[in-house]
Amino acid sequence: MTYPDTLVRGISDKNTVDPDDSKPAVGAMNFKEVGRSDSYKELSINWVDDEGAISEIRNRRKENGEIQFKAGLALVNRKKIEVHLADSIMSKEFCYERKPDPENKYHGNLLMNAKKKIERMIVAVLCYNCVDEIQPPLEE
């Protein structure tokens, strides 16, 4: 399986962007327990195979028509993930996958199965050490 160098995470809540650092706060990367058979928690992302991946997530709307990611988009550098989370990847506490669905061919997940103290650190590393930029949301 091949992966592009960049992935994008949508941010819904303006309170989860740190204005001082222009980095997402940890609340923007909240891994969810979804009952997977492999016990991994998921964080939904788009793989940036082309510009369409960013366009898809920027234009995504909720059922009521509102823009879903009102606080912007975090562009995450996969190579930095490979470097900074090398130990966690090696120990299989952290990994990622493609999981395209009929409506979004770019969809994938970051996956985590770690003790809580490791989980807190991994999320902080993702937010502060692996995010290259935060792009503004679509203007309504």
Partner 1 sequence: MPIKNNYYNNNSETSTGFEKKSRPELKQTISNDVTSFSIDDIEYYSSLPQNVDIFKGVNLKITEIENESIKKCVYEFLNIFRFIIEKNNRIMRFDNNLPKLKMEITEDGAALIHWNYKHIRIGFAFEEPIEESSYYLVFDNKVTGSYFSKSEFLDRNNFHVIIEKLLMFVLETT
Q: How far is the CB of 105 from partner 1 (least distance, A)?
A: 29
| Residue 77 near residue 84 (C-beta atoms within 8 A) | no
Measured CA distances, 79 to 49, 115, 116 (Å):
15, 24, 24
Q: How far is the CB of 86 from partner 1 (least distance, A)?
A: 10
Dihedral pair phi/psi, residue 99, rounded to 5°: -150, 70
Q: How far is the CB of 59 from partner 1 (least distance, A)?
A: 26
Distance separating alpha carbons of residues 137 and 73, to the nearest angstrom: 7
Return the number of the residue (116 or 139) whose C-beta is nearest partner 1.
116
Return the number of the residue (62 or 120) whose C-beta is nearest partner 1.
120
Return the number of the residue (33 or 103) whose C-beta is nearest partner 1.
33
Q: How far is the CB of 20 from partner 1 (least distance, A)?
A: 8
CB contact set of 61 (below 8 Å; sequence gap of 6+): 67, 68
Instruction: State the amino acid at position 8 in one-letter form.
Output: V
Return the number of the residue (94 or 106) whose C-beta is nearest partner 1.
94
Return the number of the residue (25 or 111) whose C-beta is nearest partner 1.
25
- Dihedral sign of CA atoms 51, 53, 58, 59 in order: positive
Q: How far is the CB of 4 from partner 1 (least distance, A)?
A: 22
Rule CB under 8 A: which residues touch partner 1? Answer: 18, 21, 25-27, 30, 83-84, 116-118, 120-121, 124-125, 128-129
Closest CA to 110 of 93, 91, 135, 132: 93
